[in-house]
Amino acid sequence: MFTRPDVLPGTRAAACFNQFKRQPPLIHCLTNEVVQELTANVLLALGASPAMVVEPEEAAQFSRVADALLINIGTLHASRAESMLAAIEAANRADKPWLLDPVAVGGLEYRATFARRLLTLRPAAIRGNASEIIALSGLQTSARGVDSQDDSLVALPAARVLASNCGAIVAVTGETDYITDGERDWAVTGGDVLMTRVVGTGCALSAVVAAFCSLPGDRLDNVATACRVMALCGERATAQCSGPGSFTAAFLDALHQLRMEDLL
């Protein structure tokens, strides 16, 4: 029988977030062309440091120094794919965690082939919407474009399979987020549908998940906390804004103002 996962307790989220704020990490972001500014600003608002270093030689050098690596295939092309592979190899050698955001992996062959190759390179975490996680797990999906058609709970079994096969934490995000290591799960609530009308909120979440993967302690809790931080601030920003334009400023302000106590 299928059991709906428990919600991440606020005390755990607060403890993880406290650790994050005490030593904000440096994140190497190899992400898509569209969302780089928002991704950087989300990390900066939380106190972390983003850097985008893209030439293969430098990307490898920098991954050894950074605390975590983000790989987002939204605008994958051949030369950037080369940089990603160099950065991942260097991160793995230096024992630095890296995260995969398999944007729109469902219907597009080139990135699907690349993403399957990346799955063999030991990602610490994978963050996607339901259709992306289902596609990556090997099940079929009918997703069209980058917006998910499936409910995230429907994708949880696929997320568990993917987590077990890769040894990664998998976060399948949507109206409710589910985070699993294949055996244990957390649910995270919050956020608002308005966030789907702002490009890059999911991609920025992946950057924050990558950042939280660099923390010590239980990685399942850390990844779930990243999701909770973004959902809570998304909810607060929605309450204060008049639409998707004013959302972004309110969201970044909320991330900047977030305190440990807010998560309890």
127 has binding-site annotation: yes
Q: What is the nearest approach in angstroms of a second copy to the Cβ of residue 188?
A: 22
CB 164 → a second copy: shortest distance, Å? 29
Of all residues in the chain, what percent are helix, strand and coil, respectively (each to 5)?
50, 15, 35
Q: Which is nearer to a second copy, 8 or 91 (CB)?
A: 91
Instruction: State the alpha helices, DSSP H only, in 66-200.
Output: 78-93, 109-119, 130-137, 156-166
Question: Is 200 annotated as a binding-site member?
Answer: yes
Nearest approach, Cβ of 134 to a second copy (angstroms)?
18
Residue 6's Cβ-count burial label (10 Å; 0-12, 13-18, 19+) is exposed
Q: Is 26 exposed, middle or buried (0-12, 13-18, 19+ CB in 10 A)?
A: middle
Query: Based on CB atoms, which residue is closest to a second copy, 32 or 180?
Result: 32
**Nearest-CA neighbor of 171 among 142, 122, 117, 208?**
208
Residue 251: phi and psi, rounded to 5, are -65, -50
* 180 is an annotated ligand-binding site residue: no
Is there a contact between 181 and 220 (Cβ–Cβ < 8 Å)? yes
Which residues are near a second copy by CB under 8 A? 26, 32-38, 40-41, 44-45, 49-55, 57-58, 61-62, 65-66, 74-79, 83, 104, 107-111, 144-147, 196-200, 241-246, 248-257
Q: CB of 40: closest distance to a second copy in angstroms?
A: 4
Looking at the Cβ atoms of 34 and 260, the one nearer to a second copy is 34
- Residue 180 gets which letter from DSSP? E
Q: How far is the CB of 86 from a second copy (least distance, A)?
A: 12
Binding residues: 52, 127, 173, 200
Binding residues for ATP: 127, 173
Binding residues for substrate: 52, 200
